[in-house]
Amino acid sequence: MLKLSGFHVSNYHNKVRLALLEKGIAFEEDANCRPSQKDEWLARSPMGKVPVIEVDGTALAESQAICEYLEDAYPQVPLYPKDPLARAKVRELIAVIELHMELVARRLYGALYFGGQVSEETKKEVERDLAKGVRAFSKVAKFDPYIAGKEFTLADCVAFVSLPLISMTSKLAFGKDALDSVPQLKPYLKMLGERPHFRKVNDDRKAATEAAVAKAKPAG
């Protein structure tokens, strides 16, 4: 059986988990698996990141590659439209969210969430680049009612796991939600949160985040 390894706080893990659940694919999960630069983990995940899936003894990393594999191997419940151009528009949306928003905001995670440091220069770059990403997002997001239009797609899974993180990060770093200029976002995320699999993944994310925070607190 297919196995997903990662942890429930990870937005990329949750993207793949949502795709598996929404497509109705049976899978095992190891949700206690952390990124690592050790040889043993690098043999399964070339950049040492999570998530990874294992299919018949073959490991596959990179959430987008994993989701494309799932789409090819399990076409019964599709997460992409049929039309080639509409499929490409879903991928465009995913690229805007992940490459031009999430990866930009990620430059601040170390300082904001893991006690690291960040220079004022980096903060300025992130603020500028995030504004460009949000501008691109507001041009391609449809909210009709789904992010790519009438059909529920993988882009909705990506939006649900990454956009709240971008909102929280920009609020903490700049005192203002970078996504405030997209008023359709909150009701849209609320709608998605009512889907049973989305609710489950979100509840598990909250529980795992609370557990990680409690573990990080000094005793006493």
Ligand X SMILES: N[C@@H](CCC(=O)N[C@@H](CS)C(=O)NCC(=O)O)C(=O)O
Quick one: which of 29, 30, 54, 62 contacts ligand X (CB under 6 A)?
62
Q: Is 205 in the site for ligand X (CB under 6 A)?
A: no
Q: Is 49 in the site for ligand X (CB under 6 A)?
A: yes
Tell me whether residue 53 or residue 189 sits nearer to ligand X (CB atom): 53
* Shortest Å, Cβ 184 to ligand X: 25
Closest among 63, 30, 61, 67 to 48, alpha carbons compared: 61
| Span near ligand X by CB under 6 A; candidates 61-69, 133-141, 168-176, 199-207 | 61-69
Token pair in block for residue 112:
């904001």
Q: Is 30 in the site for ligand X (CB under 6 A)?
A: no
Tell me whether residue 94 or residue 149 sits nearer to ligand X (CB atom): 94
Q: Is 145 in the site for ligand X (CB under 6 A)?
A: no
Distance CA 107, CA 123 (A): 8
Quick one: which of 5, 8, 10, 166 contacts ligand X (CB under 6 A)?
10
Alpha carbon distances (Å) from 19 to 91, 146, 198, 207: 14, 15, 10, 20
* Shortest Å, Cβ 207 to ligand X: 17
Q: Is 12 in the site for ligand X (CB under 6 A)?
A: yes
Tell me whether residue 12 or residue 80 sits nearer to ligand X (CB atom): 12
Long-range contacts from 29-38, C-beta under 8 angstroms, 24+ separation = 29/3, 29/4, 29/5, 30/3, 30/4, 30/5, 30/6, 31/6, 31/7, 31/204, 31/208, 32/7, 33/5, 33/6, 33/7, 34/7
DSSP state of 219: P
Interaction site with ligand X (CB under 6 A): 10-12, 35, 48-50, 62-64
